[in-house]
Amino acid sequence: MARKVVITGLGATTPIGGDVPTMWQNALKGVSGAHTLGDEWVAKYDLPVHFAARCSVPALDVLSRVEAKRMDPSTQFGVIAAREAWADSGIDEIDHDRLAVAFATGIGGVWTLLDAWDTLREKGPRRVLPMTVPMLMPNGVAAAVSLDLGARAGAHTPVSACASGTEAMHLGLELIRSGKADVVVCGGAEAAIHPMPMAAFSSMQALSRRNDDPERASRPYDVDRDGFVMGEGAGALVLEAEEHALARGARIYAELAGTSVTADAYHITAPDPQGLGATRALKAAMFDGRIQAEDVVHVNAHATSTPVGDKPEYTALRAALGSHVDNVAVSATKSQMGHLLGASGAVEAVLTVLAVYERKAPVTINLENQDPEIPLDVVTSVRDLPSGDIVALSNSFGFGGHNAVIAVRNV
């Protein structure tokens, strides 16, 4: 019998709230975190997209100036979320050799890398800061969280584009089940609202160009969806072996019942139109958690609002859940906060855990004309989830054909 893994701490900093309580209240209300960017670089480089979803609370309002200086913005967000999750877990004494970190990112320290390149060209090699390498490395955030919490059972960085945050949850579950750790701080962090990634995502036609109406640009499942909205931030969760949580009398939000990771091996960026990899991921996570289709009441969908991405996820959900998919309350929370790339899976995991714990499904905004090819029961105003035993799923898919799914059960 595998060790049961539960979730005992939550943290987040996002475009719709700088902490979990604020984010959750807004997620139930239905707000948009997307706004026109005031940065001079938007006009300077004539970027085709003029808006994004920035974190509602700047990292420098939370961290001290000196500690922030040594962290890339992505790491700043990750450390803020991890500290909130850790405090929320109430853990005060722990064997630090049994505490691990699995903290993901999609892109890593892109601000640091490009700032250093600008400095090199403008001022020469002497002015490139000695902290550049530890700040730009993709494991920087996992390392910073490990250092901050004294986690010595390993600090891991799953990197699978927009599936990274969910893959961190998968890895965390495996670390506890296999006995390598008792507690794992899992999460994802991203800070890529920089002109270069904005230009690169634009050039692949992935971003919405609704410049005249940013708040209504992220519209998963709507017939007029035209791309995702770049977001930023971090989410963090404390995963704990059930016996460890019970022994200290912890408040338990939910069980992380099952997880999975699969690969499409179909195309480097395009999703498999049949959603076969996603279907296998859904089925594998359900099998892993001993879950029947009928147990599932809620899905936090990947649903980025791209014309090509939203439909294969529906196809996969129908393939995995059968006709029961019609009874499932689906939330597309990227409609509110945009796409946090490697952090999205972690933030959505936080929302999925709260949905099970509070028995409420968060809101999908901007759904005006639902795509008739995606007949899901989309939650557009806050909805109660049923009493009794329930399971919620959260999906994440990433460029490279990465699929990751988590299944969360009430306790």
Partner 1 sequence: MASNEEILAGLAEIVNEETGLAPEAVELDKSFTEDLDIDSISMMTIVVNAEEKFGVRIPDEEVKNLKTVGDAVSFIANAQA
Catalytic residues: 162, 302, 339
For partner 1, the closer CB: 32 or 146: 146
Q: Is the CB of residue 17 less than 8 Å from the CB of residue 231?
A: no
Closest Cα to residue 151, out of 104, 191, 107, 186?
186
Q: Choose between 135 and 198: whose C-beta lies nearer to partner 1.
A: 135
* Residue 131 Cβ vs partner 1, minimum distance, rounded to whole Å: 6
Buried b / exposed e across 103-127, counting CB within 10 Å, b at 16+? Answer: bbbbbbbbbbbebbeebeeeeeeee
Closest to partner 1 by CB, 70 or 248? 70
Per the CB < 8 A criterion, the answer to whether 292 and 46 are in contact is no
Residue placing its CB nearer to partner 1 in the complex, 69 or 180: 69
CB 299 within 8 A of CB 352: no
- Helix (H, G, I), strand (E, B), or coil: what is residue 257? strand
Helix, strand, coil share (%) of the chain residues, nearest 5 = 40, 20, 40
Residue 61: Cβ within 10 Å count: 9
Considering the complex, what minimum distance in angstroms separates the CB of residue 132 from partner 1?
10
199 CB-contact burial (10 Å; exposed 0-12 / middle 13-18 / buried 19+): middle
Query: Shortest CA distance to 312 belongs to which of 339, 272, 372?
Result: 272
Binding site for partner 1 (CB under 8 A): 64-66, 69, 126-127, 129-131
Least distance in angstroms from the C-beta of 156 to partner 1: 24
CB atoms within 10 A of CB 265: 10
| C-beta of 70 vs 209, nearer to partner 1 | 70
CB of 122 to partner 1, least distance (A): 13
Q: How far is the CB of 139 from partner 1 (least distance, A)?
A: 17
